[in-house]
Amino acid sequence: MKRKIKEIKAKPAPGMMFLKDLPIGKMFETSSGIRGVLIDCDINAKVVILSAGVEEEDKQYYLGKQTIAAETEVYK
């Protein structure tokens, strides 16, 4: 007997939305304080990180063009 696997539908937290639902070119902010602009979004999202709430020596890693998950929660 074959069983159908249930599809899991993720929902963002109240007051937030997924990065994949944001229009291209719009700015976003995550709950961890990362701010950026969405450039492209397919399976993953290509973004430019403008500021990050991290220590000074770690900023070089975060700033600039990055690829992050399309289901990252961002503020509306």
What's the pLDDT tens digit per position in 16-70?
999 999 999 999 999 999 999 999 999 999 999 999 988 888 888 999 999 999 9
Please answer whether residues 28 and 70 qualify as being in contact, where contact means their C-beta atoms are separated by less than 8 angstroms.
no
pLDDT of residue 2 exceeding 90, the answer is no
Phi, psi of 20 (to 5 degrees): -65, -20
- Residue 68 sits in a domain of what CATH number? 2.40.30
Alpha-carbon distances of 65 from 3, 5, 37, 45, 68, rounded to whole Å: 43, 37, 10, 11, 10
In a domain, 42, yes or no: yes
In a domain, 7, yes or no: no
Q: Which domain holds residue 37?
A: 16-75
Tokens standing for residue 7? 């599809």
In a domain, 34, yes or no: yes
In a domain, 11, yes or no: no
The pLDDT value given to residue 58: 87
pTM for the whole thing? 0.82
CA torsion, ordered 13, 15, 21, 27, to nearest 10 deg: -120
In the chain, the number of structural domains is: 1
In a domain, 43, yes or no: yes
